[in-house]
Amino acid sequence: MLIAGFSHAESRKLTLCYDKYPPYAIGEFGEAASGGIKVKLLQDIGKQLDILVAVKILPWKRCLSAAKDGLVDGILPLYKTPEREQFMAFTLPVMRQYNCFLYKKSAFRGRVDWTDYQALKDHHLGMEIGSVVDKDMEAIFESAHPIERAADSITLMKMMDSGRIDLATIDSNVGKYLINQQGVADTIGVSDVPIGKLSYAAFGFSKASGADRWVAEFNKVIEKMRKAGLLEKLEAQTSK
């Protein structure tokens, strides 16, 4: 009976990972997340399903690798891509997200068409390591200069301040949060124009860990939350 009880408890526990990416996930690398919008969403769903949930803060590339190898049970809401579907099963969408450009204001004067990547390609672009944004856009910039890669968005902002890059791709809500948090709104701007199309983020569950069996249960709760308007409130929070 004790063994059976222990096995049941273990089966009701999920550990997911995410990058250090306020306002979605807050914490330090290698430690448990201390907060964040996506962390709270997982906790809310966990309560409804009677699951003990935890979130590890890991560098993005390591988080993806851990999910692929089954070292964690999945990743907080992220974009679904064919490559990621090879090792993760995705839930229904839980929030809309889009990438945009952070830009150094002094490098751009007058009106800039953020959708005309050919006109922007002479500027140096920065991106986070492991990020997937828009391959066509990336190819255009790569044709003029190598894309600079950094571990996180704050490092990209420092690279922009030093003149190493002029633009950087970033999640729109993360960009707005960091601009205010870092006090750089006078020198760095955030474009409101999506790069590519609007995307919908969903929980990704590791096939290697066996956590993909939770997709159906999560979907039931997600549908209930959507009907109650709770996910719309979550999306409104991300834009503040």
For 3-18, write each residue's pLDDT tens digit.
Answer: 444 344 456 899 999 9
Tens of pLDDT, residue by residue over 180-193, are: 999 999 999 999 89
Instruction: Categorize the per-residue pLDDT at 198 as very low, low, confident or very high, splitting at 50, 70 and 90.
Output: confident
Q: For residues 158-169, give the mean pLDDT.
A: 96
pLDDT of residue 65: 97
Task: Answer yes or no: is pLDDT of 93 > 70.
Answer: yes
Whole-number Å distance between alpha carbons of 52 and 45:
10
Predicted model pTM: 0.74
Return the number of other C-beta atoms located less than 10 Å from residue 25's C-beta: 24
The per-residue pLDDT of the chain, averaged, comes to 90
What is residue 109's predicted lDDT score, i.e. its pLDDT? Answer: 80
179 pLDDT band, cuts 50/70/90, is: very high
pLDDT, mean of residues 117-139 = 92
pLDDT band at 111 (very low <50, low <70, confident <90, very high): low
pLDDT tops 50 at residue 30 = yes
Instruction: Check pLDDT > 50 for residue 99.
Output: yes
Least confident of 82-86, 128-132, 159-163: 128-132
Predicted local confidence at residue 237, as pLDDT: 64
